């Protein structure tokens, strides 16, 4: 629930751990309204059944890895000013780091859009930076989401090839 602020609400699927009829159980419950009250109590409201219960539990949201598109504003030409763009979408939770790199060093003065999301709580961000491509230089977008780190390389054709970097 790290992404939830005090008093915030979200509709999602939750995995509940508990005891029912003297048995340890795990249940996945869909279409649940989740509200954090600032302590450990979490109010769950399932609108379909109109049932309400208070649990002392941890609520885990589903993990969705990001989809990454790395491209340039214009077709890549050596010595011609351009903009490198990394669009990251359909990820959850929202904690993510996007770095635009040149030869393994982060490029300064990159611009990042505001974090946005769809109704299904899938988030998206775009980061861009002006750059001047030249032969022998490697441009990439490094995305860190949870413990997963992936590096996407930009080619002069404006396309991206994925190269996976193992998490540290």
Q: Which residue has the higher pLDDT, 34 or 13?
A: 13
Percent of the chain clearing pLDDT 70 (strictly above): 56
What is the arrangement of strands in the sheet containing 148-154, beginning at the earlier edge strand?
A: 105-106, 96-102, 139-145, 148-154, 160-164
CA angle 151, 84, 64 (to 5 degrees): 45
Helices vs strands, H then E, count in the chain: 0, 14
Q: Which residues sit opposite 10 in a β-bridge?
A: 34
Q: Which residue has the higher pLDDT, 22 or 73?
A: 73
pLDDT (average), residues 130-155: 94
Q: Which residue has the higher pLDDT, 37 or 120?
A: 120
- Tens of pLDDT, residue by residue over 96-138, are 999 999 999 999 999 999 999 988 889 999 999 999 999 999 9
The pLDDT mean for the chain works out to 75
Q: Which residue has the higher pLDDT, 152 or 54?
A: 152
| 120 phi and psi angles, rounded to 5 deg | -90, 15
- Tens of pLDDT, residue by residue over 15-32, are 665 666 666 666 676 665
Return the structure tokens found at 37: 């009250």
Percent of the chain clearing pLDDT 90 (strictly above): 49
pLDDT at 14: 62
pLDDT at 67: 96
Q: Is 0.75 topped by the overall pTM?
A: no
Distance CA 75, CA 157 (A): 6
Does the structure show a pLDDT above 80 at 160? no
Would you place residue 38 in the very low, low, confident or very high pLDDT band (cuts 50, 70, 90)?
very low
Would you place residue 62 in the very low, low, confident or very high pLDDT band (cuts 50, 70, 90)?
confident
């Amino acid at each position: 629930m790290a992404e939830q602020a005090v008093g915030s609400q979200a509709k999602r699927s939750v995995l509940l751990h508990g005891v029912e009829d003297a048995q340890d159980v795990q249940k996945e419950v869909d279409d649940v309204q989740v509200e954090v009250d600032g302590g450990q109590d979490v109010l769950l409201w399932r609108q379909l059944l109109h049932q309400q219960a208070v649990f002392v539990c941890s609520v885990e949201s589903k993990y969705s890895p990001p989809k990454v598109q790395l491209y340039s504003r214009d077709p890549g030409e050596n010595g011609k000013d351009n903009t490198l763009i990394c669009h990251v979408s359909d990820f959850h939770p929202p904690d993510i780091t996007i770095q635009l790199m040149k030869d393994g060093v982060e490029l300064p003065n990159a611009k990042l859009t505001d974090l946005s999301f769809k109704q299904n709580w899938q988030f998206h961000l775009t980061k861009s930076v002006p750059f001047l491509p030249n032969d022998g230089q490697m441009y990439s977008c490094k995305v860190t989401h949870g413990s997963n780190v992936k590096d996407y390389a930009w080619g002069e054709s404006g396309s991206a090839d994925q190269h996976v970097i193992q998490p540290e």
